[in-house]
Chain A
Amino acid sequence: MSNAEAVEKLRASLGTKVQAVGEFRGETTVRIDLSAVQEAAKLLKEIGYRTLLDLTSVDHLGEEPRFEIVYHFFAAASGELLRLKGRVTGEEPTAPSLAGVYATANWQEREAFDMMGIRFAGHPDLRRILMWEGYPFFPLRKDFPLEGKDSDAGEMAFSRRAPLEGGPFVTRPAAESGEREPRAHPAEELPEETL
């Protein structure tokens, strides 16, 4: 089953919950209403996209809705990759869990919960997976400082702010690449979309 056919099936099954379909460099992205994501995943699994390669989240701070969840499905027979995206918002952004459809979603959703604070409704065991139990923050959110925050979870663990003298140690945009790294290509040689 090719991506084009899969998109047609998704449109037919989900109707208006498929919000947009995009193509970029041969990759297909389907934007959907996340309330239908379980349905979409079941359909994709049936028609050959039997691997959920990746489930991750993006924080678009300042936009509304703020969080975006990205799913990558892979069909081994055709070798094609299909990307599903959808937005969630709110203080406790919540999306339906795919753990009942793809077993791998279990830990990946726990990671998205741990790092970004996205809740997954219907998840069998939504605990932190990287940080320790009792850690009160979601460190990959854009408004979380790089140096971290002070916290104390009793006998479990503690955390303190890291010293950032000379920092913050973040990569500067490609327009400044000549200054950042003398061997890098100057900005005018770079393709526009990287700037």
Chain B
Amino acid sequence: MGQTEELSYNSKIEGDVVLTTMDSAINWMRKNSLWPMPMGLACCAIELMAASCARFDIARFGAEVMRFSPRQADLLIVAGTVTYKMAYAVKRIYDQMPEPKWVIAMGACASSGGMYRSYAVLQGIDQLLPVDVYISGCPPRPEALLDGLLRIQGKIDADPSLRRLKRAA
């Protein structure tokens, strides 16, 4: 991985200089300090909590700062069953998050409604939000969540951040 090479740069021998592109630098910073907004709506939230505790330790991937304010978060983890009554609340929270932002649909319910083929449950949060990563499972194991997080990191890594920033400016 490019990241290991960067970390293995030896400043004593090569001086305090790092040669890289703006894109990789920005992406490197973004992907290793994702601040998740834990949208815990059902049992998936328990696995989400487990993922942030010592055994699975989401802090290894820099995403341990769970923010309960959307304005301080850049990764929305929709963990659990989204009912129609809750749907617009989730969308409002997403809308309040600053750009750039990513969304994980964690578990069967958030991805597709899961076992709730019923009148009360939104059949997948992707009807309202642009989802980046779907995690299967009912609920998914914490390892699955960490894998989803790594995939988000991979996606951020491939992002043309600078071009996007220029376009915005």
Contact = CB atoms under 8 A, between A and B. Distances in A.
A149 B84 CA distance: 12
Interface in A108-167: 130-132, 137, 139, 144-149, 155-160, 162-164, 167
A24 interface: no
User: Does more than half of chain B's interface fall in helix, strand or loop, or is it mixed?
Assistant: loop
A144 B117 contact: no
A38 B143 CA distance: 56
Range for the number of chain B residues in contact with chain A: 10 to 19
B117 A146 contact: yes
A148 B88 contact: no
Interface in B27-75: none
A145 B119 CA distance: 8
Interface residues of A, number: 22
B106 interface: no
A157 B118 contact: no
B87 A148 contact: no
B120 interface: yes
Interface string B71-96: 00000000000001101100000000
Interface of B: 84-85, 87-88, 113, 116-121, 123
Given A137-B119, A146-B119, A162-B117, 8 more contacts: A145-B119, A158-B87, A159-B84, A160-B123, A162-B116, A162-B123, A163-B117, A167-B117
Interface of A: 130-132, 137, 139, 144-149, 155-160, 162-164, 167, 169
